[in-house]
Chains A and B, each alone.
Chain A
């Protein structure tokens, strides 16, 4: 469970101060699927980095599964990132000249799994995202959608309870974007994983159960979406 109380993040650049987050409070329960929306510069990425323990808030409290994150040191934060969080980025962030399989094995490497475990779990994760046949391909031999699937497999491989995706469909065409959303929905449905995604696209956001809107580092609205679009099927209805 994610509990954020009055989160603030201030970046100081010389004389200038940027309040990327300004007193954001919310709770996200286990197994929720949430979209975070807001204009550019509203603090979405900053918020995700704090939820994902890549950064710590300047002010406020962040409690992850009952543990106050401010009490963790650097190596404990690294462990939390490895065990509980799976990241998906807009630009995929795959290692170049490295096969899909090895890219997906990376989090397992740092989790201390044996070579055999790593390979098995990475293969399983790739099959889960529908890329069982492309494991030996390097990123430059894959389409954007396939690359994002590799990135999602990498986020899944350590079986984290939370998946954080910052604009996961931002670099993809709308058809591929919907396929990716369908994948997130099925992860959320089948594995009960918490999925939090940032998006500009309200159509993408409507695939989730709840939409949080940010503006200037404040939460301006936090609403349930009683009838989320079912990716694939719903799209056919709309078009």
Chain B
């Protein structure tokens, strides 16, 4: 007997009890749909976060002030360290190989005003390299350049969102705005990068750092009589040299800050690679978790199928007896019932895949997350469903095949 005939036989048997077959399949349908939808949504989330991180800038290295535990008179206290403008100068002078850009930045929140429009926004003093490092593109006008810093010009470059909020449809370039009461001329507008959720890269005002020190930041940027910075950004010339640059910067800053080897530093150096690595671990944990949930629901579905198949074998005892009487061997009966279970789980799997893809699609259409349905995930879910069918089908099929022909025929 051909496999396809067995399949048709199975379909007919399942059709004879449509409602029951449908309910039995439900477990597998839900399990497979869960796997497919959750993985598609998970993949989409990972891809979107990864592209956000990459959008911050390529091969970006970030140095920030860090916490340091200090023991003063037997009590341990956390101290926040500082980064100074002089740290930037040291790094700029000494770390030359493999670095394609370096810029310190000092950020603080100020009220900005144009005409009657005014609101609070983060104003960042930067050097020339800042824009390429953060991979900002100019939409209109120009960026902050070296001579702006040298001459301490009161010029500003607006993020796309800020420009829109402040000027609406007007062209901001050439207009004067007031930041904390100080007049600045807008010389450029940045291209929108799109929100990455936590801090909006389009809601910024960039000014020359030197101008900021002398005209805007005042004492907030001074600590122990020295100019501080919020962050120093470096960009390595390739992803392979990121670690080398980090090593050099770490060495130089430790020397600069008088930190003995082995002691905890008062600054943090991080790279996107670290970020992505963390993301990867999170995603993996999530995937394992989702996989476990899906596996449990598939397992429950499988037990449901087995249960119904056992009932079906009992109900069809007489039919099995008859099939044996007309010459069916044990193996032929085994195959018939096994294929029936497999058909059930196969159909359930297919419906589950369609449903899962549908759910993922709804997420995309609603704009919640651009879900990504991967063929390998679909195949995996499908294979798993089939395996469940095989595993939970064997026992009922074996029961059917082992029935004694005469006793089966006598069964009422």
Q: Interface on A for B, CB 8 Å cutoff?
A: 49, 52, 54-55, 74-75, 78-79, 81-83, 87, 89, 93, 95-98, 106-107, 109-112, 115, 154, 158
Q: Are A111 and B409 in contact (CB under 8 A)?
A: no
Given A75-B329, A81-B324, A106-B326, 5 more A-B residue pairs with CB atoms under 8 Å apart are A55-B404, A75-B330, A75-B331, A93-B322, A107-B327
Q: Are A78 and B328 in contact (CB under 8 A)?
A: yes
Find chain B residues with CB under 8 A from A110 CB: 1, 323, 326-329, 332
Q: Are B325 and A54 in contact (CB under 8 A)?
A: yes
Given contacts A81-B324, A93-B322, A109-B1, contact A55 B329 (CB under 8 A): no
Nearest first, the 6 closest Cβ-Cβ pairs linking A and B are A82-B327, A107-B326, A110-B327, A78-B329, A55-B406, A54-B406
Q: In the bound complex, how far is the Cα of B328 from the Cα of A83, in angstroms?
A: 11
Q: Are A95 and B1 in contact (CB under 8 A)?
A: no
Enumerate 16 A-B pairs (CB-CB under 8 Å) in ascending A order. A54-B405, A54-B406, A55-B404, A55-B406, A74-B329, A75-B330, A75-B331, A78-B324, A78-B329, A78-B330, A79-B327, A81-B405, A93-B318, A97-B12, A109-B1, A158-B327
Total CB contacts across the A-B interface at under 8 A: 63
Q: How near does chain B come to A122, taking the closest CB pair, in angstroms?
A: 12
Q: Are B327 and A154 in contact (CB under 8 A)?
A: no
Q: How near does chain A come to B285, taking the closest CB pair, in angstroms?
A: 51
Question: Beta-carbon contacts of B287-319 to A below 8 Å, as 1s and 0s?
Answer: 000000000000000000000000000000011
Q: In the bound complex, how far is the Cα of B327 from the Cα of A112, in angstroms?
A: 10
Q: How near does chain B come to A164, taking the closest CB pair, in angstroms?
A: 10
B117 contacts chain A at the CB level, 8 A cutoff: no
Greatest chain B CB density within 10 A among A89, A96, A115 is at A89
Residue of A nearest to B318 (CB): A93
B16 contacts chain A at the CB level, 8 A cutoff: yes
Find chain B residues with CB under 8 A from A82 CB: 326-328
B224 contacts chain A at the CB level, 8 A cutoff: no
B5 contacts chain A at the CB level, 8 A cutoff: yes
Residue of B nearest to A86 (CB): B326
Q: How near does chain B come to A102, taking the closest CB pair, in angstroms?
A: 9
Contact of B1 among A78, A97, A112 (CB under 8 A): A112
Given contacts A93-B409, A109-B5, A112-B1, contact A87 B325 (CB under 8 A): yes
Find chain B residues with CB under 8 A from A54 CB: 324-325, 405-406, 409
Q: In the bound complex, how far is the Cα of B332 from the Cα of A154, in angstroms?
A: 19
Q: Interface on B for A, CB 8 Å cutoff?
A: 1, 5, 12, 16, 318-319, 322-332, 404-406, 409
Find chain A residues with CB under 8 A from B319 CB: 95
Residue of A nearest to B330 (CB): A74
Q: Are B329 and A106 in contact (CB under 8 A)?
A: no
Find chain A residues with CB under 8 A from B327 CB: 78-79, 81-83, 107, 110-111, 158
Contact of B322 among A55, A95, A115 (CB under 8 A): A95
Q: In the bound complex, how far is the Cα of B332 from the Cα of A93, in angstroms?
A: 19
Find chain A residues with CB under 8 A from B330 CB: 74-75, 78
Q: How near does chain B come to A121, taking the closest CB pair, in angstroms?
A: 13
Majority secondary structure, B binding face:
helix
Majority secondary structure, A binding face:
helix
Q: Are A154 and B326 in contact (CB under 8 A)?
A: yes
Find chain B residues with CB under 8 A from A112 CB: 1
Find chain A residues with CB under 8 A from B409 CB: 49, 54, 89, 93
Q: In the bound complex, how far is the Cα of B329 from the Cα of A49, in angstroms?
A: 17
Q: In the bound complex, how far is the Cα of B1 from the Cα of A87, in angstroms?
A: 21
Q: How near does chain A come to B125, taking the closest CB pair, in angstroms?
A: 83
Q: In the bound complex, how far is the Cα of B405 from the Cα of A74, in angstroms?
A: 10
Q: How near does chain A come to B15, taking the closest CB pair, in angstroms?
A: 9
Find chain B residues with CB under 8 A from A158 CB: 326-327
Find chain A residues with CB under 8 A from B331 CB: 75
Q: In the bound complex, how far is the Cα of B330 from the Cα of A154, in angstroms?
A: 20
Q: In the bound complex, how far is the Cα of B326 from the Cα of A158, in angstroms?
A: 9
Given contacts A55-B405, A55-B406, contact A81 B16 (CB under 8 A): no
Q: In the bound complex, how far is the Cα of B323 from the Cα of A153, in angstroms?
A: 15
Q: How near does chain A come to B337, taking the closest CB pair, in angstroms?
A: 15
Find chain A residues with CB under 8 A from B12 CB: 97-98
Q: In the bound complex, how far is the Cα of B9 from the Cα of A106, in angstroms?
A: 11
Find chain B residues with CB under 8 A from A74 CB: 329-330
Residue of B nearest to A114 (CB): B2
Find chain B residues with CB under 8 A from A81 CB: 324-327, 405
Q: In the bound complex, how far is the Cα of B322 from the Cα of A78, in angstroms?
A: 12
Q: In the bound complex, how far is the Cα of B12 from the Cα of A81, in angstroms?
A: 26
Q: In the bound complex, how far is the Cα of B405 from the Cα of A133, in angstroms?
A: 32
Find chain B residues with CB under 8 A from A52 CB: 325
Greatest chain A CB density within 10 A among B1, B319, B330, B406 is at B406
Residue of A nearest to B15 (CB): A97
Q: Are A106 and B323 in contact (CB under 8 A)?
A: yes
Q: In the bound complex, how far is the Cα of B330 from the Cα of A81, in angstroms?
A: 13
Greatest chain A CB density within 10 A among B12, B326, B331 is at B326
Find chain B residues with CB under 8 A from A107 CB: 326-327
Q: How near does chain A come to B334, taking the closest CB pair, in angstroms?
A: 11
